[in-house]
Amino acid sequence: MPQYEAGTFDVIVVGAGHAGAEAALASARMGAKTLVLTMNLDMIAFMPCNPSIGGPAKGIVVREIDALGGAMGRVIDKTHIQMRMLNTAKGPAVRALRAQADKVLYQQEMKRLMEEEPNLTLHQGIAEELVVEDGKIQGLITQVGGIYRANSVVITTGTFLRGEIIIGDLRYSSGPNNQQPSIKLAENLEKLGFETVRFKTGTPPRVNSNSIDYSKTEIQPGDDVPRAFSYETTEYITDQLPCWLTYTNEQTHQVIDDNLHLSPMYSGMIKGTGPRYCPSIEDKVVRFNDKPRHQIFLEPEGRNTREVYVQGLSTSLPEHVQRKLLESIPGLEKAEMMRAGYAIEYDSIVPTQLWPTLESKRIENLYTAGQINGTSGYEEAAGQGLMAGINAAAKVLGKEEVILSRSDAYIGVLIDDLVTKGTNEPYRLLTSRAEYRLLLRHDNADIRLTELAYAIGMVKEERYVKFLAKKERIEEEIKRLRGIMIKPNETTQQVIRDAGGSELKDGIRGADLLKRPEMTYEMISQLTPSTVELEDEVKEQVEIHIKYEGYIEKSLQQVDKLKKMENKKIPDNIDYHAISGIATEARGKLAEVRPLSIAQASRISGVNPADISILLVYIEQGKIAKISV
């Protein structure tokens, strides 16, 4: 294949899925001349699995992406068919928004955003070989011989690397949804020395809505209140489509039992590690065989299609068995299967080979993001893509690298987990992974991240000014409620009685009254209205802040400790093998992960407090030279 010089860019992003799209947009927005290269321009931001975005932890990531100037929140706000706030009966820390997407509209909207972004070039092509010189990326070569030169490259190939689809005993080389797999690039990465593992994920069959008997299912409508992910959204979609709930039964489970020998999961054909939190239906039935039924959600894939996603029925059983499974489920007895479910195996790189900026330790200026790093989920991919894009551009433009702490964002938790601990299954964010989840809420993503986003150029002046004004109103109102005395007059007592609380004996400060479990901001503002009109978002912040002050304070103290440890930096050129006191296992792990700070070092499994102490002694002394004989 003759080669030709196809162009020079600051940053090239390979892949335009959820990671690639964010990476490309972020890089361009940061001011870097960016190329995004994708196998198929019609597959930008494609959702090969469930047609939904958000949910616990993930929904908060979408908010964070938005606060940092990313696209996912804005796009889903324009293209969803339904939105729901989850966990509303629980505390504010675990509330999360989830949207059902119109898959096609989502793709179109993302593509349009990318096309309109200055500094961003879209091109259809397949990256086959990375050009590396002296351990630094120089660009890449495509399948048609185009040589693209760049200072930084971000690889976001999802499940395409040596992808293989498996249904029953059929196995063939393929990307998701029968797209081309990426084989040459996988071989190239291997040649460059990247350590990879084989992961597996799966998807359920899709059926035609017209063939579903919805009368046998339960309706799952969206919220009546208009909702949005993005802080910029002002127009809300009110015309929502419902989802539907049905269940498997003994007959379904019998079908699985009878055909288990045909399952590639159990025949040993699938070797890749699948995610525990998203098991196939055969896995659920085998592992929890005492459960009489499992939930099945029927989720429309969009407004202009009748295709319905059968959430909960992920499977790699042969197609004829999948038909029997559908037939056994109430409402789906006559369902027309439009596409069969399948499992997909793929290469992902061991993420401890990355710095917390998502830059590869092996090849300078090469970044990876998304499923290639061992995660699963659109939101996890998008969060990484955003950060990789920001950092790739920052490096080219000579700006400072951006690393989110575990106390800044779920995205920080995600990336830190990946690069510090690695993962032995496709990684999904869970609320329990965040130790400061009370601080990492859905409602305060802008307060946590706008400052940073503005400083690095991801958020424009106008939005920043608006944000500052909001922040000031929140602070002013908190201050006001802390100062103002509420008298125990009849109006006050009535409001308290109505809320089911016990009457006041003396005057009380507004903030203290709000701290009572039965009181809300609205009630307090009846007694002592703010002099200025406050928007709901401000009121919510005031209420959460005052009500949970004690808990927030406690979390902040823990964060203080974390920050102290994060500020103890480990020099890049440290030679762990020269430090005699550190245990052998810990030494190996430290040398592999090469943590940037003592905080990160202490999170590596196998590194114990004594090792950290010794490391501290060593570093503080400022002598990297060998101490021991």
Partner 1 sequence: MEFDTIAAISTPSGEGAIAIVRLSGPEAVAIADKLFRAASKKALAAQPTHTIHYGHLEDPATAEVVEEVMVSLMKAPKTFTREDVIEINCHGGIVSVNRVLELALRAGARLAEPGEFTKRAFLNGRIDLSQAEAVMDLIRAKTDRAMDVALNQMEGKLSKLIGTLRQALLESIAQMEVNIDYPEYDDVEEMTRPIMLEKSKWVRSEIDKLLQTSSQGKILREGLSTVILGRPNVGKSSLLNSLVQENKAIVTEIAGTTRDIIEEYVNVRGVPLRLVDTAGIRETEDIVERIGVERSRKVLKEADLILYVLNYSEALTPEDELLFETVKDMDYIVVINKTDLPQKIDLEQVQKLAGDKLLVTTSLIEEEGIDQLEEAIAALFFQGEIEAGDMTYVSNVRHIALLHQAHKTISDAIEAAEMEVPVDMIQIDVTRTWEILGEIIGDTADDGLLNQLFSQFCLGK
Residues that bind partner 1 (CB under 8 A): 55-57, 86-87, 90-94, 276-279, 284, 287-288, 291, 294-295, 297, 311-312, 430-432, 438, 517-518, 548, 551, 554-555, 564, 579-581, 605, 608-610, 613-614, 616-618, 620-621, 623, 627-629
The DSSP annotation for 404-464 comes to: --TTT-HHHHHHHHHHHH--SS-B---GGG-TTTTTS-STTHHHHHHHHHHHTTSS-HHHH
- The H or E element that residue 211 is part of is none
CA atoms within 13 A on the CB side of 572: 2
Instruction: Tabulate helix, strand, coil % of the chain (nearest 5).
Output: 40, 20, 40
Residue partners of 483: CB distance under 8 A and separation at least 6: 509, 510
128 phi and psi angles, rounded to 5 deg: -115, -30
DSSP collapsed to 3 states, 230-299: CCCCCCCCCCCCCEEEEECCHHHHHHHHHHHHHCHHHHCCCCCECCCCCCCHHHHHHHCCCCCCCEEEEE
CA atoms within 13 A on the CB side of 188: 18
In the complex with partner 1, which residue's Cβ is closer, 469 or 610? 610
In the complex with partner 1, which residue's Cβ is closer, 261 or 623? 623
CB of 172 to partner 1, least distance (A): 27
Nearest Cα residue to 298 out of 247, 240, 224, 340: 247
DSSP state of 577: G
CA atoms within 13 A on the CB side of 149: 6
Q: Side by side, which strands form the sheet with 342-349? A: 170-173, 164-167, 342-349, 196-203
- Alpha carbon distance 282, 90 (integer Å): 32
In the complex with partner 1, which residue's Cβ is closer, 27 or 203? 203
In the complex with partner 1, which residue's Cβ is closer, 106 or 297? 297
Both tokens assigned to 318? 């042969």
- Alpha carbon distance 605, 345 (integer Å): 27
Q: Helix, strand or coil for residue 73?
A: helix
CB of 425 to partner 1, least distance (A): 10
CB of 235 to partner 1, least distance (A): 27
In the complex with partner 1, which residue's Cβ is closer, 335 or 607? 607
Residue partners of 274: CB distance under 8 A and separation at least 6: 199, 200, 201, 202, 265, 280, 283, 343, 425, 426
In the complex with partner 1, which residue's Cβ is closer, 479 or 563? 563
CB of 605 to partner 1, least distance (A): 8
- Alpha carbon distance 510, 507 (integer Å): 9
CB of 421 to partner 1, least distance (A): 9
CB of 534 to partner 1, least distance (A): 23
DSSP state of 207: E
CB of 209 to partner 1, least distance (A): 19
In the complex with partner 1, which residue's Cβ is closer, 161 or 582? 582
37 with 120: CB under 8 angstroms?
no
CB of 552 to partner 1, least distance (A): 10
In the complex with partner 1, which residue's Cβ is closer, 92 or 264? 92
CB of 620 to partner 1, least distance (A): 5
In the complex with partner 1, which residue's Cβ is closer, 172 or 551? 551
CB of 279 to partner 1, least distance (A): 7
CB of 288 to partner 1, least distance (A): 4
CB of 273 to partner 1, least distance (A): 13
In the complex with partner 1, which residue's Cβ is closer, 183 or 245? 245
In the complex with partner 1, which residue's Cβ is closer, 479 or 569? 569
In the complex with partner 1, which residue's Cβ is closer, 321 or 586? 586
Burial of 497 (0-12, 13-18, 19+ CB in 10 A): exposed
